[in-house]
A = this chain, B = another copy of it.
Amino acid sequence: MLTLRQLRYFDALARLGHFGRAADACAISQPALSMQIRDLEARLGLPLVERRPNGVCLTAAGRDIAERAAGVMAEVRDLTDFAKSRTIPLSGDLSLGVIPSIAPYLLPSLLPLLRQTFPELTLNIHEAQTDTITAELLDGRLDLLLLALPIDTAAIDTLHLFDDPFLLAAPKGHNVPHPARCLPDLLQDEQLLLLEEGHCLRDQALAVCALRNTDRTDTFGASTLATLVQMVANGMGFTLLPEMAVQVEGRSSDIDLVPLADPVPSRSVGLAWRKSSPLAQDFAAFGDVVKKARKKA
């Protein structure tokens, strides 16, 4: 098989027209270069240089081959340069999965901050429920997830970033104490409005209220928090909002946002990646930016 080394040596020979000087340029001895050139000629099946008493001169074919060899070497150089540019941590493409109860509230402040912190990073964002993006992570279609922890999958490493406390969203004119405590009792005879099946936030809300999914089979499954808030504003019941969503969703004048008493229930927001990901060590830095974005929001 042809080797790059032979092309490099031949290129030097073609440029310098002299075995000895070419060998010097390649930092090898003259016989070593001679042998490699001879081998190259044997592999290609034709003479590339004409050995003359004073130096060498290329054959017609040799000139063409030298040009092509230079082309190959340029492309290899491009390849290594490209690789070097990619040695910057968090550069290039990164496919990020985000759950729907985080994406709309964190991304607006996160994305500009990421652009600024990792200018070489190109994000590819996919928004879907936990199960979906987890499967995609394991598939290799996603590299990193931003979601609510814990997720229980071996082969996935996670990093907790911050806790996102829940608030009770109640219709105006309710009689909930402030702060609210003992949710299970409070909601005994009230409707708890939830997202549709599959959203982790649904399960978290149920857990906070000490309910099982089956306890309230009648609960309507909204597809977005915005819808849930509309429903609360129209007196259809109560819901739990993550603090992160308050800025965007809690603006309605028809609802009251009631903080919850200690111990304030919250969800853990964090990152997840394949244990085998070679980028693992970079994700801490990514997480720091997410934390910063949250404070800004």
Contact = CB atoms under 8 A, between A and B. Distances in A.
Contacts of A82: 64-65, 68
A94 interface: yes
Contact of A79 (B50, B72, B84): B72
Nearest to A155: B53
B4 A3 contact: yes
A171 to B, nearest CB: 48
Could you say how many copies of this chain the assembly holds? Answer: 2
Interface in A64-110: 64-65, 68-69, 71-72, 75-76, 78-80, 82-84, 86-87, 92-94
Contact of A76 (B2, B46, B47, B143): B2
A8 B44 CA distance: 19
Interface in A213-228: none
A57 interface: yes
A45 interface: yes
A278 interface: yes
A166 to B, nearest CB: 36
Contacts of A274: 50, 52
Contacts of A2: 4, 76, 79-80
A87 B71 CA distance: 21
A123 B5 CA distance: 33
A61 interface: yes
A276 interface: yes
Interface string A1-38: 11111001000000000000000000000000000000
A46 to B, nearest CB: 5
Contacts of A71: 75
A43 to B, nearest CB: 8
Given A84-B45, A276-B52, A60 B3 contact: no
A277 B1 CA distance: 27
B79 A278 contact: no
Given A3-B4, A92-B64, A76 B72 contact: yes
Interface of A: 1-5, 8, 43-47, 50-53, 57, 59-61, 64-65, 68-69, 71-72, 75-76, 78-80, 82-84, 86-87, 92-94, 140, 143, 155, 274, 276-279
Given A52-B276, A59-B279, A75-B75, 9 more contacts: A1-B4, A2-B76, A4-B4, A46-B83, A50-B278, A52-B140, A59-B278, A64-B82, A68-B79
22 contacts: A1-B8, A2-B80, A3-B3, A3-B4, A44-B83, A44-B84, A44-B87, A45-B84, A46-B87, A50-B140, A52-B140, A53-B155, A59-B278, A59-B279, A60-B92, A60-B94, A60-B143, A65-B83, A68-B78, A71-B75, A72-B72, A72-B75
